[in-house]
Structure 1
Amino acid sequence: MKLLLCFALLCWTADMTRSVTITTTEESFEKAKGETVHFPCKFTVSPEDQEPLHIEWIKSPPDNQRVDEEIIVYFGGNIYDKYSKNLKGRVYFTSSDPRLGDASINITDIQLSDMGTYQCKVKKLPGIANKKIQLSVLVKPSGTKCYLDGSSEIGSDFKLRCESEGSLPLYYEWQKFPNTEKFPPVSLSDLNPAIISVRNATPEYSGTYSCTVKNRVGFDKCILTVTVIPPSNTAGTIAGAIVGTLCGLLLLGLLIFCCCKKRKEEKYEKEVHHDIREDVPPPKSRTSTARSYIGSNHSSLGSMSPSNIEGYSKAQYNQVPSEDFDRTPQSPSFPPAKVAASNLSRMGAIPVMIPAQSKDGSIV
């Protein structure tokens, strides 16, 4: 009897627990970054559920070490949505009155940090129900660029590369315009359809190429124009580069030479400017004056008669400044050269008789 009573009590409790039922079946979503995600959570209640309705959304992050957090709550006719700092202002109930059986929410501008497991709990005691939904946030392909790797000359090898950023896996699709032109084979050696290899290029490979990158949440594309040209004159290019380099070096050397020369001139001008001194006139030579004076007297003696030689010689010799005889000659003295009388007469010299003078100064 007791056993039957316990079994009936458990069945009644189970029925009461299952009185609130969530009818939503979705369990996971994949959305692109920046989009809006809708988490459905529709429910029904039974007449036995008489307590106020309580709806609660909880986020469980992928990291198990982080605790769960409430993001939005409905209770007693009021909405509380300021629990989460990351989702503040981006989460709201879809229905204006969740009591009508719709506890769904929307999250706008979702970010990579919004990934995780979201749980919808509906309580209307004694009934309780919950539903978990998984959210995966992906990044659309973006920043896609195409470029040519190598030389596009005839007979050369090059590759067409396509690069993009986004959540893996990424799918690449190449297309050439117009479609009737020859299309290069896709490289299978790298197992990467983002690369097209071209060997022994010909003008047929010239054209416009389009690369489209896709993943589960979006796509992006880029355009590349390829022109296969004849081989360039490599020798002429090298010669031109050498000549240009030599001209540049010559010009640089000339510039350095001019700068050095200008500096030397400026330095010389400064030195000359500081070394200028006022010239001092040379002193008058007294020796030459005395000699010219004596020479003039000798010439005068040659033209005088013997009668007046005595008085003239005394007066003239007394007029010679004593300082001229006392002055020590600056140049070394040499013995007078002896010239024969016949030579002097031949040269036109006039013989002059110089009277002798005694100790007391009288002429003898």
Structure 2
Amino acid sequence: TLVCVHYLALGLEITSTGTTPIEVASGQTVKLDCQFNLAQADSGPLDIEWSLLAADNQNEDKVVILYSGDRVYENYYPPMKDRVHFSTPDPKNGDASINLSMLKSSDSGTYQCKVKKAPGISSRKMQLIVMVRPSKPRCTTEGQAEEGKNIVLRCSTPEGTKPIQYKWDKITDSKLLPASAVLDPVEGTINVRNVSTSASGTYRCVASNRVGTDECLLVLKVTPPQNTAGMIAGIIITLLLLLLIVAILVFCWLRVRRRKKYEKEICNEIREDVPPPKSRISTARSFTIGSQRSSLGSMSPSNLPEYTLKSQYDKIPSSEEYERPPSQAPLPPPSAMRMGGPSLNRMGAIPVMIPAQNRDGSIV
């Protein structure tokens, strides 16, 4: 039986050869070759089946495309719908090759072409690697680009099938990398120690793999060392000026507040040394003058000396004398004690006849 099976297997033969993995960039189209020859003894119906083998034996293989009963079935595998087709319209003529278009990284794997025409049967496996070309890399600088410092130029790409190689070069000035630069083509970095101003310029990083390349540019400007002491002094002076301005504002605010408080207290204070109204002075004067005149009108000769003493009240007091305490009132001048007849007449006094007396006191 084993010999018979071996004999039957020799009837149908797949002539396509090659075991090298097929590497194709994403987005492109690839042809998976599967040519076969039939034997005269192969008289059964022709069946062609393409499948994507599972990486794990526990999972099921996925049928990609099928030819059976002179009919093509293309939409067996939804992720490859409308992207897989037979290379020829009639595969029964000995060409079971297929074309995969718009390749994706998920299309990578091992494919098997199985051709069956009873009693003959044969199959062929091939590995497809869909590689993603590097996407636009990003060039950045790590560290302070100041003379005498250490900096790192970094280049990285978010997408791309590894391995990816990175290459740096300078495209301006001398077009030479700094003497102290250390390049890492796998990580895409350049370490520059004790950088100098001569390292300034435009750098280019090229990321590449087996299916494509892309690049980015970086402009590096190395500055002289900063005057740290001057910066600190400037900051201190600025802070002092700010504090001075704040102090002035607070002082002005307190002064205005104190002035308003003082004015408010003055308005509410009742002062004891305020002079009385002028209307009261005039009333007092009129009252005093009227009283004196009435007193003089009723004087008799017997109380004439008292009258002369009261003549001092005929004088209208000034505001200063009115406000002076009684204890400090001035004494009447001596001349006021003696007043002549004409003066008395002007003051409204009534003349009284006094009998003449001699020296001994008798009336003449």
Q: TM-score range by the shorter chain?
A: 0.5 to 0.7
1:132 aligns with 2:125: yes
Asked if structure 1 preserves the Cα contact closer than 8 Å seen for 2:166 and 2:188, the reply is yes
> Which residue in 2 is equivalent to 1:347?
313
CA gap 1:29/1:246 in 2 versus in 1, 3 angstroms: farther
Asked if structure 1 preserves the Cα contact closer than 8 Å seen for 2:134 and 2:208, the reply is yes
Q: Which runs of 5+ in 1 are unaligned?
A: 1-8, 261-294, 307-339, 352-364
SS in 2 for 1:59: strand
Q: Give, in angstroms, the shift of residue 177 of structure 1.
A: 2.5
Asked if structure 1 preserves the Cα contact closer than 8 Å seen for 2:149 and 2:195, the reply is yes
Q: For the aligned residues, what is the CA RMSD?
A: 4.1
CA gap 1:192/1:15 in 2 versus in 1, 3 angstroms: closer
> Which residue in 2 is equivalent to 1:171?
165
1:194 aligns with 2:160: no
> Which residue in 1 is equivalent to 2:36?
43
| TM-score, reference length from structure 1 | 0.62
Sequence identity (%): 40
1:158 aligns with 2:151: yes
1:26 aligns with 2:18: yes
AA aligned to 2:3 is: C
Q: Give, in angstroms, the shift of residue 65 of structure 1.
A: 3.6
Q: Give, in angstroms, the shift of residue 228 of structure 1.
A: 3.1
Q: Give, in angstroms, the shift of residue 168 of structure 1.
A: 2.2
CA gap 1:179/1:44 in 2 versus in 1, 3 angstroms: farther
Matches within 5 A, 1:181-220: 181-184=175-178, 185-187=180-182, 194-220=188-214
Matches within 5 A, 1:294-305: none
Matches within 5 A, 1:277-356: 344-348=310-314
- 121-130 or 143-152, which deviates more: 143-152
Asked if structure 1 preserves the Cα contact closer than 8 Å seen for 2:167 and 2:185, the reply is no
> Which residue in 2 is equivalent to 1:5?
none
Q: Give, in angstroms, the shift of residue 102 of structure 1.
A: 1.2
Matches within 5 A, 1:63-142: 63-142=56-135
CA gap 1:112/1:191 in 2 versus in 1, 3 angstroms: closer
> Which residue in 2 is equivalent to 1:320?
none
Q: Residue by residue, what CA displacement relative to the aligned partner does 1:120-175 show, whole Å, maximum 9, x if unpaired? A: 11111111111112223332221312222223333332222222232222212222
Q: Give, in angstroms, the shift of residue 195 of structure 1.
A: 1.8
AA aligned to 1:147 is: T
Q: Residue by residue, what CA displacement relative to the aligned partner does 1:189-239 show, whole Å, maximum 9, x if unpaired? A: x78562222223234323332221222322222222223333333344445
> Which residue in 2 is equivalent to 1:149?
142
Count residues in correspondence. 276
Q: Which runs of 5+ in 2 are unaligned?
A: 254-286, 299-305, 316-346, 349-364
Asked if structure 1 preserves the Cα contact closer than 8 Å seen for 2:181 and 2:193, the reply is no
**Counterpart Cα distance in 2 of 1:120 and 1:45:** 15
2:223 to 215, 223, 229: 229
Asked if structure 1 preserves the Cα contact closer than 8 Å seen for 2:47 and 2:68, the reply is yes
> Which residue in 1 is equivalent to 2:55?
62
**Counterpart Cα distance in 2 of 1:66 and 1:40:** 25
**Counterpart Cα distance in 1 of 2:237 and 2:88:** 79
AA aligned to 2:7 is: D
> Which residue in 1 is equivalent to 2:258?
none
**Counterpart Cα distance in 1 of 2:37 and 2:17:** 14
**Counterpart Cα distance in 1 of 2:126 and 2:238:** 70
Q: Give, in angstroms, the shift of residue 104 of structure 1.
A: 1.1
| TM-score, reference length from structure 2 | 0.62
